[in-house]
Amino acid sequence: MDRDIFVQEEARKRIERDIDERIAVHKANIVRLATAQASATALGVAVRNRPLILLAQGDSWFDYPLTGNGLPLVDTDVIAQLRRIGPMPPTILNLAHHGDAAVDEMSLPKQERMIAALRDPSNWINGKPDAILFSAGGNDIAGDQFCIFLDFNDGRTPGLNADRFGKALGMVEACYLDLFALRDRIAPGVPIFAHCYDFPIPNGAHPVCAGPWLKPSLDFCNWSTAQGTAIIREALIAFRDMLHRLAGTPSNLFHTVDTQGTLSAADWANELHPFPAGFAKIAQLFSDALSRHVRPADMVAALAASAEAPPTPPLASTATSAKEPAKKRATPRGKAAATKGDTSRTGRRRKA
């Protein structure tokens, strides 16, 4: 028992350190952007780099540190992909952590963390984020608890128990409503964007470190993979309909990114997560939604200024002496070109 408590406490501390490092990297990014804007204003020139500044909270679709089911250990999730899209990729403070259910994300400690981030002016350009991204609901259903929402297959039951599943979905909806209330108190006017996942294949595929999440419950309740696929599709459509209903209330300032039907069977790495290319497809849908609904005036001006900027003139070529024909210079052996390392989750460079 003592060992289990120790392991849990160490895991909690590790998560806290990871989040603290992300916040530090984000603050440094904001300082650079703010400094550039102040310099441009002082010089009387246009600001040409004003990306969207976003806050993200979520589960493994926003924090997936694997490539498919294994190495390399790098972020390949929706947020990681979104940071690479567009002429001015967004700057995102990501508070998400894999494995969190909606009730975890809106628990007291996580709400306190979100409030602290929203109230800290050094995290934002104009006092608050341009939008909040939210990924929640999947882990409230998937996992060992999935069997709760299934009828045993005796040849007469439909599969998904609508009454029990509806009660669980109600708790997820309560988490979204609580997020809207938090936003209204702390960052009024900031729109919230969430997605509705996609239709996975409950075939038992999983990384070494986690899962499977769906097939064990289906096996336990006597449902085949084909039947389970239809059951999960039904559950996710009900989840999507709930999000659309919330989005239909204008005062919620909430947008559903309709992601269902985006991924092919080949895009799925396991029962819950796509490969990087699949996450990139979902990220593009977020980017498109943000472009439609979030256009701060200073960002629009920066995009216009960047588009109108004159092209950089080519470097002048060096004239070759008439007495000496041009020769291709060999690269000295001792001066091989340095290669850039990939960026780690904390924003530092790692050696290649």
SS3 labels along 112-128: HHHHHHHHCHHHCCCCC
Looking from the CA of 206 toward its CB, the CA atoms found within 13 Å total: 14
65 contact partners, CB below 8 Å, separation of at least 6: 73, 74, 75, 76, 98, 345
Surface-to-core class of residue 344, CB atoms within 10 Å of its CB (0-12 exposed, 13-18 middle, 19+ buried): middle
Q: Which residues of the chain fall short of a pLDDT of 70? A: 1, 3-8, 309-352
- Token pair listed for 4: 């289990």
| H or E stretch covering 6 | helix 2-43
pLDDT of residue 298: 77
Domain ranges of the chain: 2-304
**Which residue type sits at 229?**
T
- pLDDT at 295 (0 to 100): 81
On the CB side of 209, CA atoms within 13 Å amount to 11
- Residue in the block written with tokens 């059951």: 231
8 A C-beta contact, residue 130 and residue 296: yes
**Whole-number Å distance between alpha carbons of 139 and 211:** 11
CB atoms within 10 A of CB 215: 20
CA 180 – CA 187 distance, rounded (Å): 10
Class assignment of domain 2-304? alpha beta
What pLDDT was estimated at residue 97?
96
Position 5 scores a pLDDT of 65
Q: Which two tokens stand for residue 148?
A: 């709760």
Q: What is the pLDDT of residue 330?
A: 44
What pLDDT was estimated at residue 63? 97
Of the candidates 114, 30, 58, 103, the residue with the CA atom closest to the CA atom of residue 282? 58
Which residue carries 């960026």 as its tokens?
Answer: 343
